[in-house]
Structure 1
């Protein structure tokens, strides 16, 4: 750890000043920031960067697992992979009416965007058409912002989603390129990058993040952040692994809340203007320290639950945001 003294404060402030002036930090500087034991100063400076570029608004998003399980990929963290017996509830694509009702409840609960997530490598044509009909119905009947996550994309499908009014497409890089083969063997890191680029070329906003706590080194967490930053995403969800029973990572230990917050803060230095969203695992790993995370670089949350795990009630999260002097959007 970097010693907790004036030198560490001066270094953190110098990095902050450069970022706030439009400059960048290097991966070696990011590694030094990540190693600091001066968490209070790191959080303070990450918060200053967030406020400068993003104001005092927290992006609150709800999602639905609209098609669960039977995914043909072998991602080691995923309870929905067909490779693992995890006891997850498996079901085909939900009817349009059910998804629309979930979107309506999310909006009434205070979420300002709704993400439709499906466990596919890529949807079959019949399912893709139904998803398009569902998007149209949500836009017409609920009037909320619609985001989607459907696996690998073609340029034609990405343009179709854009025409339907989808705002943002989620496709995470998941892990650092140097660690990716330890996490997944059924596709490559470059395949994920390719879909991210297709999405942006179609004019959709890109949501692209990853998972920490999968056995990667601290530097690989930074390598992942720099790879994500190179794609210039509009939103970056940071997930913290919950080792689900039946997956290869089920025995992975928990991350200390301070380590997660330190990572969030340094990712903010690397990506000053994005929506940096604390997502899956925050309730388990951060517990009540999610308040600190929102004053240490994060400016977005997923509320109401995730793909295969529950989450906080939206009204609880919105109250928490207001109590720390921020605004839910």
Structure 2
């Protein structure tokens, strides 16, 4: 179905297109309540003609908590491949035959150079990621050393993604000054065994609980488009809410040749937008990030995703290339948003007040 609607369209013919329905969800979210499961599922099953109204409602929530600011994160794959896990979506897993570069933990000098690049690309957060189930003592100590240096020589926030972690390890990360630790749930508890068998959903939950016990901010999200049902998407979002995570990366599966999910392709740009709107309704105050796969699946509709999400990665991802930084900066400015500094303040003045979602919704109804 086309995104813009002709004059012969009658919105009264389908209750799912009623603007009040999505605005009601925004009101529920802003009031601190949780939309019902039925309401959440309706977001994902609504027809394409409802997307602009959904985004207008999601933007109302996003603007309340985040204004017109966009956070930039920079991702470093500091240790690639060599992983004993069998995550079906991942090009670094033991069952992947993808032609990726494999290497142990990068030298400290290279990690620090990457942090400098993050600053040059206007990122406020440096995300240090290593492959593997859990870091050994030597690798972990080298990661701690690099984090301590980054925290003392830059104004970047540091997010570490290191696999399954113990209570002792999370306490050490807190002492090193790490601002946030990422450990994604990836999917629902019900669907987890379909994408990984070498660790459990409970293992992931336990790591998040250890992070929170160490009083470190939690980053956790998922990968959409792996064959999960709409119910699984809602369940994952509700689990993230119940766990109280503060940052939520929404990845859209990139089907990488050599992985078991190389032929998986179920996403459309419109459905990606519905997912982002749903997460804003269910996680109203959280940082929601358009993460891996946005360029592949949202394509020309990427700017519309900013009306629900308030954060993106700038630069490349773990084993796939991202959009150029200049393109990201221009996309953000063209949509009327402004970059956010590491301390949360706007970086410069907006060229205009973001109003695209409401105006487009008005066009669609007219």
TM above 0.5: yes
Q: Distance in 1 between matches of 2:333 and 2:271?
A: 25
Please give the per-residue CA displacement for 1:131-181, whole angstroms capped at 9, x wherever unaligned. 011111212233311111000111111111111111010000011111110
Shift of 1:4: 4.3
Shift of 1:307: 0.3
Q: Distance in 2 between matches of 1:319 and 1:204?
A: 33
CA contact (8 A) 2:121 2:314 kept: no
**2:320 is equivalent to residue 309 of structure 1:** yes
Q: Distance in 2 between matches of 1:143 and 1:96?
A: 18
**2:293 is equivalent to residue 287 of structure 1:** no
Q: Quick check: 8-17 or 29-38, which moved more?
A: 8-17
**Once superposed, what is the RMSD of the aligned Cα atoms?**
1.4
SS at match of 2:261: coil
- In structure 2, the partner of 1:157 is 169
Larger Rg: 2
Q: Distance in 2 between matches of 1:4 and 1:93?
A: 56
Shift of 1:21: 1.7
- In structure 2, the partner of 1:13 is 23
* 2:254 counterpart (242, 245, 248): 242
- In structure 1, the partner of 2:339 is 328
Shift of 1:254: 4.8
- In structure 2, the partner of 1:31 is 41
Segments of 5+ residues of structure 1 without an aligned counterpart are none
Shift of 1:312: 1.6
Shift of 1:88: 1.1
Segments of 5+ residues of structure 2 without an aligned counterpart are 2-9, 341-366
Please give the per-residue CA displacement for 1:261-302, whole angstroms capped at 9, x wherever unaligned. 01110111000000100000001111121100001x111001
CA contact (8 A) 1:110 1:314 kept: no
Q: Distance in 1 between matches of 2:11 and 2:243?
A: 34
Aligned residues: 327
* 2:97 counterpart (66, 82, 85): 85
Shift of 1:219: 1.6
TM-score by length of 1: 0.96
SS at match of 2:212: helix
CA contact (8 A) 2:73 2:124 kept: yes
Please give the per-residue CA displacement for 1:221-269, whole angstroms capped at 9, x wherever unaligned. 1111111111111100000001111111000115110000011101110
CA contact (8 A) 1:277 1:298 kept: yes
TM-score by length of 2: 0.87
CA contact (8 A) 2:227 2:266 kept: no
SS at match of 2:88: coil
SS at match of 2:158: strand
Matching of residues 58-207 of structure 1 within 5 Å? 58-207=70-219
**Structure 1: which 4+ aligned runs deviate by more than 4 Å?**
none
Q: Distance in 2 between matches of 1:230 and 1:146?
A: 24
- In structure 1, the partner of 2:287 is 275
Shift of 1:102: 0.7
SS at match of 1:259: helix
Q: Distance in 2 between matches of 1:218 and 1:206?
A: 25
* 1:222 counterpart (210, 230, 234): 234
